[in-house]
Amino acid sequence: MKIPPSLQPLVENGVISAVTRQLKSGKEAAVFVVDCAGQACCAKVYKEAERRGFHKLAAYQEGRKARGSREARAMDRRSRHGRRVQEEEWKSAEVDALYRLAAAGVRVPQPRGYYDGVLLMELVLDAQGRPAPRLNEVEMSAEQARAWHGFMVRQIQLMLCAGLIHGDLSEFNVLVDRDGPVIIDLPQAVSAAGNNNAFQMLQRDVDNMRASFGRVAPELLETQYAREIWQLYARAELQPDTPLTGRFVDDSGAADVGAVLDQIEEARREALARERGRVAAQEE
C-alpha cells in the first residue's frame, strides 16, 4: 500500500521497510501493519487533538507531570506552546505505560520503540496467525468467562501495583490471542497516586470486565473486586501476588444491588458509545 506521510520518516530512516496494510482507524489513532527487520509489527499513529475523539481529557491527564516548570506553566496557560506540550504528553503517555506494564508482567503488546510520534509494538495474533480479535468478538463458555475474568482482575491488580490504572478498559480494548486476553489502548492510563478520579476509573475498569464476562457467567456480577483491591491499595497492603476474594464488606450499610447493576449498565453503555465513535471514525 501507499506509505502514509506519518510513516515515511520511519521508512527513510530504515526503522521499517514496508507498510503492509491499515489494521484499524479510530478517533484517537490509526494502526498499520508494518515490516520491521523481517518481522510484522504494529505502527500506531496518533491523530492530532482537533481530530481526536477521546472526551474528558483533563480528568485523565491529572497527575501527569510535565517535563519542566516552563512546560507546566505553558500547559496551564493553554498557550500554543502549552498545547504542543500537552499533545506530546498525551502521545507519550501510552509509550511510558506500555513499557512500565510490560516490565511489571502485565499482558500488553510488547513495545518495539517510539519514533517521530509513532509507537511500534508487537502485532498480537490469534492461534491461526491472524490479527487477534477483540474480546467482544469472541464467543466463550461460562467456564472460560470465569477463567478470563479472574485473569483480567489479576491484570488490573498488577497494573495498580505498577502505579497505573487503564482508565478505559472494556471488551473493546482487550484482544484475545492464542494464550488469552491482551490489554491494549493505553494513552489515557492514569496515575493511581496522583489522580483524584483514580478509584472511579479503577471501579469502571473492573465493572466493565465484570459486565462483559457476567453476561456468560452471571454469578460474576455479584463480585466486588474494585472495592477490595482499592482498600488493599489504600492501606499499602496490595502486592502482585496478594490473594483476592471478590468480597467487600461496606461498613456504611447494606449494599444497594440495584445501584450496582445501574453502574454496570452505565459503564457498558459508555464503552459501547465510545466504540461506536471509533467505528464511525473508521468508516469516514
Encode 43-72: b = buried (16+ Cβ within 10 Å), e = exposed: bbbbbeeeebebeeeeebbeebebeeeebe
- Across the chain, mean pLDDT equals 86
Give the per-residue pLDDT at 283: 61
d(CA 122, CA 268): 28
Confidence of residue 218 (pLDDT cuts 50, 70, 90): very high
Domains of the chain: 135-283 (1.10.510.10)
Cβ atoms of 75 and 66 within 8 Å: the answer is yes
d(CA 123, CA 32): 10
What percent of the chain stands above pLDDT 70? Answer: 76
d(CA 137, CA 184): 15
The mean pLDDT value for 272-278 works out to 68
Residues 6+ apart with CB under 8 A from 146: 213, 217, 220
The x, y and z cell numbers of residue 127, run together, are 492461534
d(CA 276, CA 273): 5
d(CA 168, CA 126): 23
Q: Classify residue 131 by its DSSP letter.
A: B
Beta strands in 86-141 (DSSP E): 111-115, 118-122
Give the per-residue pLDDT at 277: 67
Tens of pLDDT, residue by residue over 34-79, are: 999 999 999 999 887 655 454 555 555 555 554 555 555 544 555 6
Give the per-residue pLDDT at 34: 97
